[in-house]
Structure 1
Amino acid sequence: MSIADQVQALRLRKLKILDDHRKSRQQLERTLDVELAKIDREITQLGDASAKLPCLVRITPGPELTIYHSADYPCGRVHNRRNFKRMREVDAMDASPYAYLERCSACDWRRAAKIHGERLIKAS
């Protein structure tokens, strides 16, 4: 085998080792991303299942109350937070003497649940 062939063989071996290493790192990063995404979903579920999820209930005069809003990620209908009382979701459901209040469909409850779930984890 000539010197040029030996150099070429060594270069190819080196490139293969580097490529194999890069592929194994990419696989580890994909696995890490999948595991972290799974934990994020579980944190969101934890926050959503918590009866202490913070909500906003309107306290100013106006139309009959039918909904409450997310305190952590409210929709555009919450212009001035001073017009709302912050309370736990379990209390917000029964905040109106006339009707059982429901979640606002425009608020981003998934993000709010994730924020609340992370807050629960930090508090423990």
Structure 2
Amino acid sequence: MSGTQEEINKLRLQKLKLLDDHYKEVALLRVRLDEQIRQLNRKIAKAGDNDVNLPCLVRKTPGPELTVYHSADRPCGRVRDRRNFRLMPEPKAKDASPYVWLERCSACDWRDAADVHGNRLLGS
């Protein structure tokens, strides 16, 4: 092999190593960014869940005694027609019945609702 060919091969290997190192660094940065975004999303959801203005739905039509309130952002299948429900913040929803302290409906997707509400707060 000639001296020029050896020099070209060395340069090619240097270029390939440089590109490989770059791609590895970019991949590592993506992994770090994804983890930081996940952590922030958890904090946003927690802030949404802890906010006193988390929107809830309380049934206002006649029927069985009230025991639960529903998520306004991610309600369960029991909320078919929103016109049958009053929209209110969670503290008022808990105290909406004169007889019992209402609880969160276990069928509603409260985790996703907290995320939606937290992102809404972030955007305002």
Q: Same fold (TM over 0.5)?
A: yes
Q: Deviations over 1:21-62 (max 9, x none)?
A: 001111111111111111111111101111110000011111
Partner of 1:116: 117
Q: CA deviation at 1:86?
A: 0.5
- State the match for 2:30 in structure 1: 29
- Counterpart in 1 of 2:42? 41
Structure 2: distance between partners of 1:75 and 1:2 = 75
Give the TM-score normalised by structure 2.
Answer: 0.93
Question: Which residue number in structure 1 is paired with residue 9 of structure 2?
Answer: 8
Paired residues in the alignment total 123
Distance in 1 (alpha carbons) for counterparts of 2:72 and 2:107 = 13
Alpha-carbon deviation of 1:97?
Answer: 1.1
TM-score, normalisation: structure 1:
0.93
Rounded to whole Å, the distance in 2 between the matches of 1:46 and 1:59 is 28
Deviations 1:60-107 (A, max 9, x none): 111111101000111111111111110000000010111110001111
**Residue in structure 1 matched with residue 75 of structure 2 by the alignment:** 74
SS in 2 for 1:87: strand
- Determine helix, strand or coil for the equivalent of 2:30: helix
Q: Distance in 1 between matches of 2:78 and 2:6?
A: 73
* One-letter amino acid of the structure 1 residue matched with residue 81 of structure 2: N
Give the secondary structure class of the aligned counterpart of 1:55: strand
Q: CA deviation at 1:2?
A: 2.9
Superposition pairs for residues 84-95 of structure 1, below 5 Å? Answer: 84-95=85-96
Q: Aligned equivalents of 1:19 and 1:62: distance in 2?
A: 67
SS at match of 2:52: coil
Q: Which letter does structure 1 place at the counterpart of 2:80? A: H
Partner of 1:9, secondary structure, is: helix
SS of equivalent to 1:121:
helix
